[in-house]
Amino acid sequence: MLLPSERRWYHQVLVYGLLIGGLVVVAVPFLLMVSTSLKPQQYTFEYPPRLIPRRVTFNNYVQALSKDMFFLYFMNSLGVAVSTTTSTVVISSLLAYAFGRLDFPGKEPLFYVFLVGMMIPAVTLIIPQFLVAKALKLLNSHAGLVIVYVTMNLSMQTFLLRGFFESIPSELEDAVRIDGGGRWTIFWRIILPLSRPGLATVAIFTFLYSWDEFPWAHVAIKETTRRTLPIAIALFQNQHLTQWGQVFAASIVGLIPVVTVFALFQRHFIRGVARSGLKG
Amino acid sequence: MKRKNWTMALLSGMLILGLVLTACGGAEEAAAPPEPTEPPVPTEAPIEAPTEAPTEPPEPTEAPEPVAVTYWHTMSDAEVEAMEEVIAMFEAEHPDIHIEMTRYAYDDFKSALLTSLAGGEGPDTARLDIIWVPELAEMEALVALDEAMEDFDGIAAKTFPGPLATNHWKGHYYGLPQDTNTQVLLWHKVLFDEAGIDSPPATLEEFKESACALSKGEEQYGYAMGGTYFWAPAPVFYAMGGKVVDEDITTAEGYINGPESVAAFQMLVDMYNEGCLSPNLLGGGVGTSDGHATGLYAMIIDGPWMVDIYKADFPDFEVNFAPIPNGPDGTTSSVVGGQDIVVFDGSEHKEAAMEWARFLLSEEAQLKMAERGVIPTLSTVIGDPSLPDYFGVFLEQLKTAQARVPHPQWGDMDGAINNAYQRMLRGEQTVQEALDQAAQEIDALLAQ
Amino acid sequence: MATSTGERIELEARPSLPARGLALLRQVYRARTAYLFLFPGLILFTAFVIYPMLYSLRISFYDWNVIKPAKSEFVGLDNYQMLLSAPVFRRAVLNTLAYTAITVPGQMTLALIVAVLLDQKIRGKTFFRVAYYLPVITSWVIVTLIFEYLFNSQAGMINYLLRDVLHLVDEPIRWLADPVLAMVPINLLGIWKGVGWSAIIMLAALQEIPGELLEAAAVDGAGPWSRLRGITLPLLRPTLVFLLVVLVIGGLNVYISVLLMTDGGQPLDLTHSVLTLMVKETFDRLNFGGGAAISYLLTAFVFFISVLQIRLLRRRVEY
């Protein structure tokens, strides 16, 4: 916004001030979560509420993590999320290539059909999806979760990648064509490698979605050993009492992979967003 | 170029990892048919084999594959532990049946159950909240156990009539009462001592007085309720002589808005307006369980599960139970809650499922669950020394506790009363007006 | 294909049906590799989105019995009619529209400020980026619980601050007990959770603006504010349009936060969003046909609004 020549020292102060102020607003709820996870249940609703616990206990973490196969659910979620992410990256890039760089009859209407997929609330489709999954013998399996997750993400990710692929100059394709390569070679050797940031973006969004998804996972999996993390967290809320400390402790542990994935990919991610044509 | 190769390698690696993980999930599924936990003991219950699943082809009586009966529930951790022992006992007696239990989150249980039933993947049995039984019976999702089980009458005769009645719909019984409960008064002895009151209130008059004596602005409330859904005011409502509908469930007019009902709600509204009833019941405040243990609420009305809950989360707190104070006519009452065991019409192992239901109503199973605060429905176990002490007050209360309306539309009726209660508390209507409206709405539902 | 002479029109008279069909087939054949690329995604999409959508549409015309579908009774448009005249539904629509109208501009404005700030030359860029993005990557369930806890009327931090620290109010505010006030934590949550997402996208767009443009304008005497108005914002336009469309879709589909905080529309069914109402109808009241009707009305509305936005607002940006 400001050119180097216009910058004064007070501008820096203002910028930092605002950013840190905003940071406080953003961070306070998280701090609260951490603080509550370290308090014994009796202090959850103490008045006046204290951000710094009067008594620190790690019992909530111990309880949460040792309860009911928490670690197993965690690993299940991890496996499902990784599978969903890789499959989505693959399938949506195939779709995006077709929509972004190839021509075929029915291209535009088909694309709109995909867009509509983005607008349907997922919760609406659960029962018929259940019926289809059952017919295909996908129930009660992680494959069933992955397949539905991939499908539900397809619209958004294809849309995103399409913009990305469209922005790659066509001259690069010519080089491959001269060498006698076909569409697949172009896809594999030119488009994909140049789209790392876009693929990273897809990866992050998909991982996030898969990690946190609840309604489908709750219904599609009944074998307790195959359940995913959000279910474990939901089970902390009893019919009669919410064990806030444990819920938050479990949630914090559940945040770790997501934050890690984001931290790892964020550089690519932002560059990816920039060039994805998401913005235009 | 190096980076490109690295990326390719990473992507391929992830792809392979992903496929492997998914394949493992699939492999697990292939190995799904459960293995018997013990080798089949030929001398035990050989009669089971021929009565199993009449729809399946007759199996050879030598070492039959154990039938897996699925059982869905929403039990708490403590209850689950006891139930695991019950299952072990059952499987020891019935080596050809294996029980697979799955726990669901309470708030989402109904939707998960319905989705699965819609897809034909429902469980064989489930522990359902008693108020759902008429609904599901109406949808023809449940087996009428009084027809399907020959010994039904014998078993039913041994249960408490109140809980049994929750399974009744249109002339048939669609389940058996697995456990029951009711609500009683919990009073905070320390706070009572501080205020100079040495015993819990015996009448509802005293109840109101003590509640107000124990209220100090926002620091402390004499009484708190969990919300405005009917379950919360029900004990006081019934103790005051209130009724929702007539005995034959034909009309609410004159009942939910009858003089006793109005008096009951009026008392609560007065307590609220005078600051003796905590405002948390309108939403967004501190819950009753937390509040009572931390001394915010001197009295709450709740069920037997509080013992285990407090043991786990508030180990230093000492729970004190007392019966619901007597109403104007000198009698007490409360509301019946509980769960019923049902067998689903879509089950492919109905015989085995009913065997499981039978076992859940055996004395051993009921007493085992009682260890964890689950009140038995078998009247024959009353007086058994192994029952926890605090059961005494609940079992006594059960003698006078009343069931809510067993009707498929109960959910909406509850909503009507809930909304009425909200309107009265907010001063939008008088108690009489609010209940008159509720009566109209309930009558409309009954007419459907 | 402009035709200037009658002769040309004759020559270009529409080919016969079979001839057109053949031409189409030829096109399809030539594009066959494209279809191969489309194949996996298309299969999944058809099975798990298209079919369920059509199934759902069908249900909405019935009084659907989910256990024994064969016994369902055809009711035509009754479900839709009942909905549109039900006060509960209208209130849910109102709540949802209000939520969208508040959270979308809220998110976009704050995001723009954050993006501009993050675009400046500062230390710790990565730290700030990750920090502002944290709410985005935390699940809705968790953040809703946190906000519920924050806004607890008796022991929550917000009331504590308002009463005992800032002395702005005398009585504790009963946020979630009031049908209108309950919207405050819900909307704040929506904005808080989404700002980071929009900010990152805007930041990326800002970084694409060529520095020379801004410098040239400065040389011409334009100060920072007029540069913002005259160059930056217009160049950001496609991004802003995209964000608007996506955020509006998200706003109209608000669900989990409302469900958890209001316990499904409490009090008095006045705090429902369209989706929470739909879930209640379907899974609580077992009115599957009605629930399907709600979801169709919502989807249609979302589609309509999105297309409207794209059509009206999308314009090519000239340098």
d(CA B346, CA B368): 30
Which residues in chain A are closer than 8 Å to C142, comparing Cβ atoms? 33, 233, 248, 251, 254-255
Query: Is pLDDT above 80 for A36?
Result: yes
The verdict on residue B7 lying in a domain is: no
The verdict on residue B155 lying in a domain is: yes
CB B397 within 8 A of CB B332: yes
| B110 and B236 fall within a common domain | no
Q: Which domain holds residue B292?
A: 184-334+409-447
More confident residue, B275 or A272: B275
Q: For A130, which of B102, B115, B313 is closest by C-beta distance?
A: B115
pLDDT at B35: 33
Which residues in chain C are closer than 8 Å to B139, comparing Cβ atoms? 65-68, 286
Which residues in chain C are closer than 8 Å to A244, comparing Cβ atoms? 145, 149
Quote the number of domains for chain A: 2
pLDDT at A272: 66
Query: Is pLDDT above 70 for B62?
Result: no
How would residue B7 be classed by pLDDT, with cut points 50, 70 and 90? Answer: very low
Instruction: Decide if B293 touches A, using CB distance below 8 A.
Output: yes
| A52 and A122 fall within a common domain | no
Query: Is pLDDT above 80 for B303?
Result: yes
Q: Which domain holds residue C121?
A: 84-317
How would residue C2 be classed by pLDDT, with cut points 50, 70 and 90? Answer: very low
What DSSP string describes A151-212?
Answer: HHHHHHHHHHHHHHHHTS-THHHHHHHHTT--HHHHIIIIIHHHTHHHHHHHHHHHHHHHHH
| A131 and A248 fall within a common domain | yes
ipTM, interface predicted TM-score of the complex: 0.80
The runs of H, that is alpha helices, within C31-139 are 32-45, 51-59, 78-85, 87-119, 125-137
Query: Is pLDDT above 50 for B26?
Result: no
pLDDT at B25: 38
How would residue A193 be classed by pLDDT, with cut points 50, 70 and 90? Answer: confident
| A15 and A114 fall within a common domain | no
| A10 and A86 fall within a common domain | no
| A28 and A124 fall within a common domain | no
How would residue A103 be classed by pLDDT, with cut points 50, 70 and 90? Answer: confident
Q: Checking DSSP bridges between strand B67-73 and strand B97-103, what pairing results, if any?
A: parallel
Query: Is pLDDT above 90 for B422?
Result: yes
pLDDT at B225: 94
Distances (CA, A) of A194 to A93, A273, B15, B102, C284: 12, 14, 19, 47, 50
Mean pLDDT for chain A overall: 82
Distance from CA of A188 to the nearest CA of B (A): 10
The answer to whether the Cβ–Cβ distance between A251 and C132 falls below 8 Å is: no
pLDDT at C13: 63
CATH code of residue A70? 1.10.3720.10
Quote the number of domains for chain B: 2
Q: For B21, which of A46, A82, A126 is closest by C-beta distance?
A: A82
| A44 and A74 fall within a common domain | no
The answer to whether the Cβ–Cβ distance between B118 and C66 falls below 8 Å is: yes
pLDDT at C94: 95
pLDDT digits (tens, 9 = 90+) for B153-183: 999 998 887 788 889 898 899 999 999 999 9
How would residue A273 be classed by pLDDT, with cut points 50, 70 and 90? Answer: low
Share of chain A above pLDDT 90, in %: 10
Tell me the range of A68-77, B107-116, B213-222 where mean pLDDT is highest.
B213-222
Q: State residue B340 phi and psi, 5-degree precision.
A: -115, 150
How would residue B33 be classed by pLDDT, with cut points 50, 70 and 90? Answer: very low
Mean pLDDT value of segment A134-161:
88
CATH code of residue C196? 1.10.3720.10
DSSP-based three-state secondary structure for B118: helix
pLDDT digits (tens, 9 = 90+) for C141-171: 888 988 988 999 888 888 988 888 888 888 8
pLDDT at A280: 45
Mean pLDDT for chain C overall: 84
Instruction: Decide if B118 touches C, using CB distance below 8 A.
Output: yes
The verdict on residue C283 lying in a domain is: yes
| B108 and B159 fall within a common domain | yes
Q: For residue B420, list its beta bridge partners.
A: none
More confident residue, A39 or B9: A39
Quote the number of domains for chain C: 1
Q: Which domain holds residue A23?
A: 4-57
| A52 and A185 fall within a common domain | no
pLDDT at B371: 85
| A81 and A209 fall within a common domain | yes
| A244 and A137 fall within a common domain | yes
SS3 content of chain C, % helix, strand, coil (to 5): 75, 0, 25
The answer to whether the Cβ–Cβ distance between B293 and A130 falls below 8 Å is: no
Give B 257-276 residues with CB within 8 A of chain A: none
More confident residue, C98 or B49: C98
Query: Is pLDDT above 70 for B38?
Result: no
| A133 and A230 fall within a common domain | yes
The verdict on residue B27 lying in a domain is: no
pLDDT at A53: 79
| B272 and B417 fall within a common domain | yes
What DSSP string describes A199-263?
Answer: HHHHHHHHHHHHHH--HHHHHH--SGGG--HHHHHHTTB-SS-B-HHHHHHHHHHHHHHHHHHHH
Which of these ranges, A224-233, B98-107, B288-297, C192-201, has the smallest mean pLDDT? A224-233
Q: For residue B69, list its beta bridge partners.
A: B99
| B151 and B255 fall within a common domain | no
pLDDT at A189: 77
Which of these ranges, B245-254, B298-307, C225-234, has the smallest mean pLDDT? C225-234
Query: Is pLDDT above 50 for B448?
Result: yes
DSSP-based three-state secondary structure for C63: strand
The verdict on residue C43 lying in a domain is: no
Query: Exposed e or buried b for every residue in A140-166, given b needs 16+ CB within 10 A?
Result: bbbbbbbbbbbbbbbbbbbbbbbbbbe
The verdict on residue C259 lying in a domain is: yes
Q: For A42, which of B28, B104, B294 is closest by C-beta distance?
A: B294
Which residues in chain C are closer than 8 Å to A103, comparing Cβ atoms? 31, 34
Which residues in chain B are closer than 8 Å to A130, comparing Cβ atoms? 115-116, 118-119, 121
Distance from CA of C298 to the nearest CA of B (A): 21
| B296 and B427 fall within a common domain | yes
d(CA B122, CA B112): 9
Mean pLDDT value of segment B129-152:
91
More confident residue, B9 or A140: A140
Return the CA Rg of chain A: 23
pLDDT at A87: 94
Contacts of B among chains (3+ CB pairs under 8 A): A, C
Which residues in chain A are closer than 8 Å to B121, comparing Cβ atoms? 130, 134, 139, 222
Mean pLDDT value of segment B350-361:
93
CATH code of residue B152? 3.40.190.10
The answer to whether the Cβ–Cβ distance between C151 and B139 falls below 8 Å is: no
More confident residue, B300 or C8: B300
- Chosen domain end from A57, A86, A102: A57
d(CA B69, CA B355): 10
Which residues in chain B are closer than 8 Å to C175, comparing Cβ atoms? 284
| B424 and B289 fall within a common domain | yes
More confident residue, C5 or A232: A232
DSSP category for residue B422: H
Which of these ranges, A180-194, A202-216, B413-427, C100-114, has the smallest mean pLDDT? A180-194
B209: number of Cβ within 10 Å: 15
pLDDT at B30: 35
How would residue B222 be classed by pLDDT, with cut points 50, 70 and 90? Answer: very high
The answer to whether the Cβ–Cβ distance between A119 and C303 falls below 8 Å is: yes
Query: Is pLDDT above 70 for B56?
Result: no
Distance from CA of A29 to the nearest CA of C (A): 6
DSSP category for residue B326: B
Q: What angle do CA A91, A92, A93 make, to 5 degrees?
A: 90
Give B 53-112 residues with CB within 8 A of chain C: 110-111
pLDDT at B389: 86
Return the CA Rg of chain C: 26
| Closest chain A residue to B30, measured at CA | A141
| Closest chain B residue to C69, measured at CA | B118
| B138 and B102 fall within a common domain | yes
Query: Is pLDDT above 70 for C85?
Result: yes
Mean pLDDT for chain B overall: 84
| B291 and B432 fall within a common domain | yes
